[in-house]
Amino acid sequence: MSKCKREGATQAPAIDLQRIEAGIATHPRVRERVREVLLFDRVLSTNQIALQMGSTGMPGGVLILAEAQDQGKGRLNRIWVSPSGVNIYLSVLLRPFQEVRDFPLFSLAAAVAVVQAIRATTGLPVVTKWPNDILLDDRKVGGILLETGKKSGEVPYLVIGAGINVNWEENDIPENLREHATSLKIALGHIVDRNRLVNEILIALAQQITLLDENKSDLIIKGLSEVCETLGKRVKVATPDRIYEGVAEALSNDGGLVLRLADKSQRTIYVGDVTKVILLPPSTRRSWGAT
């Protein structure tokens, strides 16, 4: 693939299929999880391709990468803006042996993996915002999207999608997103090696999925709690039914956000959007952990 040409910007190297495959080959756990890598110049959505493969009976273990997406998918049917040649857009098709009710844990595992990978590659103190946003300096730098499906008579499949703003120039970010979005390059002042970052993500993701396979999801919850900036803050969470306001006390054992409401009762939320975060005074904070 050729390098992406952008006026007035230093060109970032293209995603290199050989480097990705070589990285996979050197890590046994990753080799066990990823049996095939597909790289596209442009797609509608990497998740869409993975879901189509799952619906046709394709075995798990397929990694899909693209240099650009025309209809990138975010949570709650939002669009994930996906310019060409600068960021990471990937999806992994899996057919886990876990029960479907446990599939949401894979989204948490992916969030932990992406945070670990970005920190290992760049040293930047990225964190998560529940449920699956990746933040840097209070602005979104990445996100996770989990989708599932099942064909009659076959093992259910799931797709883990991740989008990471890697080498996006600030002037290229749409004006309506600049207040809320950033990139690793903006923070560092130099280009980040996307190939290395993809391989770091795969290594970390394989480690997290191994924990799920070993029934150690408590370690994933613990790891996510340590990097979740939502915990210990007063938040508003918009759910499909209503808006809740309270203190985000912990993550439940299955990944829900545990809120302490004004009447001192607890409410665990599994689907929602954190719309407001207020840092509590130090005297009112406590150590937050998994329940």
Give the chain's domains with CATH numbers.
Answer: 17-226 (3.30.930.10), 230-284 (2.30.30.100)
Q: Which two tokens stand for residue 33?
A: 């999880």
Q: In the chain, what is the straight-line distance between the N-terminal and C-terminal CA atoms, in Å?
A: 48
What local confidence, expressed as pLDDT, does residue 2 receive?
29
For residue 83, the tally of other CB atoms under 10 A from its CB is 20
d(CA 73, CA 51): 12
State the average pLDDT over residues 118-127: 98
The verdict on pTM exceeding 0.75 is yes
d(CA 157, CA 57): 9
Confidence label for 282 from pLDDT (cuts 50, 70 and 90): low
List phi, psi (to 5°) of 257: -95, 120
Q: Transcribe 186-204 into DSSP letters.
A: HHHSS---HHHHHHHHHHH
Q: Distance of CA 132 to CAs 43, 145, 203, 211, Å? A: 23, 8, 19, 19
Q: Is the pLDDT of residue 7 over 80?
A: no
What local confidence, expressed as pLDDT, does residue 79 receive?
67
Which residues 6+ apart lie within 8 Å of 80 measured at CB? 69, 72, 73, 74, 89, 143, 145, 163
Q: Which of 210, 172, 246 lies closest to 29, judged by CA? A: 210
State the average pLDDT over residues 180-196: 97
Confidence label for 21 from pLDDT (cuts 50, 70 and 90): very high
Q: Transcribe 204-221 into DSSP letters.
A: HHHHHHHHHHTT-HHHHH
Which residues 6+ apart lie within 8 Å of 101 measured at CB? none
The residue that leads in pLDDT, 286 or 141, is 141
The residue that leads in pLDDT, 84 or 31, is 31
Confidence label for 75 from pLDDT (cuts 50, 70 and 90): low
